[in-house]
Structure 1
Amino acid sequence: MQRFKSLLRWESMLALVLVIEFVSFASLSPYFLDVWTLSDATFNFTERAVIALPLALLIIAGEIDISVAAIIALSSVAMGLAAAAGIQTPGLVAIGLGTGLAAGMVNGALVTLGRVPSIVATIGTMTLFRGLAYAVLGDRVLKEYPESFSVFGQGYAAGPLSIELSLLIVLAVVFGLFLHVTRWGRTIYALGANPTAAKWSGVPVDRYRFALFAVTGLCSGLAAVLLTSRLGSTRPSIAQGWELEIISMVILGGVSVWGGKGTIPGVLLAAVVLGFVNFGLGLLNVPGIVMSIIVGALLITVVAIPVIAERWWGPARRLS
């Protein structure tokens, strides 16, 4: 209960930061609060957040996946080649999702069967998947997508509510219920807190880990569908550097890098906070390097606060 209350406090802080962002950017730019401007701003985080949700579960379970952005590139290239061969929209979506799922299963097999540490395995597959994308395309750009394919990344469900944002909300509810309500969610917390105890309690640890890597790969394939649809093109450099941004969302959301702690609402709030920070600064014509410095400083602060708090107030709580 104490852990849950502390996480709620963290989410409250993120909500307060979001309110401060809105007030600050609205006072600095007259265009910020326009409903269609805010709708456009959501594209700054929806595709990344789609991956951040399952990645949060994976990190809570004590693992990590550095290859998510490279999976996007590989899935996008597979869809681009299929589109060039005349495959229509339903087939392209299936290929994108299937490629992401297969890549996630490769990561899961390396960790559970090959016993390779997840950070080592996924750094390797990050290079492999991105390298395959470059080997297949080189400097080419594929743009031969059917017109109907653009609906996923450019369409709107109702008014200014984009299909991407609608899908993110649905996924957040699904992942939130899974992690916080079901027995499987409690098991994921147990895996991150003490994997040895979980294993001796009869939990199929490797099965859970494999499934989490597979789902993360599947959602990376989904993000590839959304991003490729929005851009209308494929190139091997697509989503370059996104892995760090996605991990930043997860950590900023209160997920412990040591596993065993975190919530889906926190990750969703962090995604919105980072997305609107980048959009607001861009609206004010702040250079990209300055944005990176601000986000980096924010992330360091977020990681440092719990450690400092435990160092200063932890002993006092134990003595009282």
Structure 2
Amino acid sequence: MKNETVNNRFIKNKAFQNSDVMRQLTLVLVLLIQIVLFSSLSDNFLTSSNLINVLRQVSVTAIAAVGMFMIILLGDIDLSVGSVYAFIGVMAAVIFRATENAVITVFAALALGTVIGFSSGFITAKGKIPAFVTTLAIMSVCRGLAFIITDGTPIGVVNPKFTWFGSGYIFKTIPVPIVIMIIVFIIGFFLINFTRFGRYVYASGGNEQATRWSGIKTDRIKILVFTISGFLMGMSSLILAGRLGGGLPNAGNGAELDVITTVILGGTSLTGGKGKLWGVITGVVVIGVLNNGLTMLNVSSYWQQLVKGIIILIAVFLDKKASKSA
């Protein structure tokens, strides 16, 4: 009986892995189709400058997606991303204009993101409140504070020390956001795949109760995951504010949609415990190429939102199908 149970589990895990591989191959195929399609419709799409521009554009979403990936691995979700962008961007602009010190601004922005993430995780874990509800409240608070602080008026900052994070270059050739994005992905990949923390995240998402019974403090894991995600949102906020040239109270509208879409599209299960970071990377690129291609073809932003919504539905359907097969 015991051997039969083990064999059944092995077969189910194997089925899920095969389904996941097929899903990732399909995603790569979709990316290739996008590239061929947009290249044929626009002569400017497949150029080195535009491809670099695509990577620069997706950097904000990609960095935040690493944190969202860990949260969804736990079986939770964070709806506050866009509002956090706006609030931290506004605060960064206010602090920089008051101090004209980039170092203080960076530390303040990252600290704010970390505190927001910790607060979301602490309330969710210790208060036993669903992350959906907690982050929905955080979303309203951050967006409200952004408008209160600015009185609805953007705070412009044109100083290169501030905009460097979003539009600057390293060695005059490599965009700063791309470098930060690559570093975050490398650290995230190591953290998730080669540390005890990463194993605990997968275990907690797979079966939180059983993980707790095995002696692992799942509340601490959840708080730490949300804290890391908050830190990464602070980083994304700096890049976005640098690109926009200041703090805008309406910045990041719908950003959580892009971040969640890339994670789910990359094969991370909404039920938690299943997913790979390299799949998220592919999802980020697919959405980035789609946004860039549609913009180059002058497709309305309203239609772009419609397309993203359809993609989310497809991704959720595939997730459900993969879960049933497993």
Q: What TM-score do the two structures reach when normalised by structure 2?
A: 0.91
Aligned: 1:195 with 2:208: yes
Amino acid at match of 1:267: V
Q: In structure 1, what is the equivalent of residue 318 of structure 2?
A: 305
Q: Identify the match of residue 282 of structure 2 among 243, 260, 269.
A: 269
Structure 1 residue runs of 5 or longer lacking an equivalent are none
Q: In structure 2, what is the equivalent of residue 91 of structure 1?
A: 104
Aligned: 1:18 with 2:34: no
Instruction: Please tell me whether the aligned partners of residues 108 and 214 of structure 1 are also in contact (alpha carbons under 8 angstroms).
Output: yes
Q: Identify the match of residue 123 of structure 1 among 107, 131, 136.
A: 136
How far apart are residue 309 of structure 1 and its match? 5.9
How far apart are residue 4 of structure 1 and its match? 4.0
CA distance in 2, matches of 1:232, 1:259: 37
Q: In structure 2, what is the equivalent of residue 107 of structure 1?
A: 120
The SS at the match of 1:240 is coil
Aligned: 1:221 with 2:234: yes
CA distance in 1, matches of 2:128, 2:166: 37
CA distance in 2, matches of 1:308, 1:111: 29
Instruction: Please tell me whether the aligned partners of residues 74 and 133 of structure 1 are also in contact (alpha carbons under 8 angstroms).
Output: yes
Instruction: Please tell me whether the aligned partners of residues 42 and 165 of structure 1 are also in contact (alpha carbons under 8 angstroms).
Output: yes
CA distance in 2, matches of 1:293, 1:146: 37
Instruction: Please tell me whether the aligned partners of residues 44 and 278 of structure 1 are also in contact (alpha carbons under 8 angstroms).
Output: no
The SS at the match of 1:300 is helix
Q: Identify the match of residue 45 of structure 2 among 13, 28, 32.
A: 32
Counterpart mapping for 1:177-188 below 5 A: 177-188=190-201
When residues 173 and 9 of structure 1 are mapped into structure 2, their CA distance, relative to the original with a 3 A threshold, is farther
Q: Identify the match of residue 292 of structure 2 among 260, 271, 279.
A: 279
Instruction: Please tell me whether the aligned partners of residues 269 and 319 of structure 2 are also in contact (alpha carbons under 8 angstroms).
Output: no
Q: In structure 2, what is the equivalent of residue 69 of structure 1?
A: 82
The SS at the match of 2:285 is helix
CA distance in 2, matches of 1:226, 1:5: 37
* 1:190-240, Cα deviation, whole Å (9 max, x unpaired): 111110000000011011000011111111110111111111111211111
How far apart are residue 111 of structure 1 and its match? 1.1
The SS at the match of 1:126 is helix
Aligned: 1:245 with 2:238: no
CA distance in 1, matches of 2:132, 2:233: 17
How far apart are residue 160 of structure 1 and its match? 5.3
Q: Identify the match of residue 288 of structure 1 among 301, 316, 324.
A: 301
How far apart are residue 256 of structure 1 and its match? 0.8
The SS at the match of 1:85 is helix
Q: What TM-score do the two structures reach when normalised by structure 1?
A: 0.93
Instruction: Please tell me whether the aligned partners of residues 19 and 322 of structure 2 are also in contact (alpha carbons under 8 angstroms).
Output: no
The SS at the match of 1:65 is coil
CA distance in 2, matches of 1:7, 1:159: 40
CA distance in 2, matches of 1:303, 1:60: 15
The count of residues paired between Structure 1 and Structure 2 equals 313
How far apart are residue 172 of structure 1 and its match? 1.0
Aligned: 1:44 with 2:50: no
Q: Share of identical aligned residues, percent?
A: 30
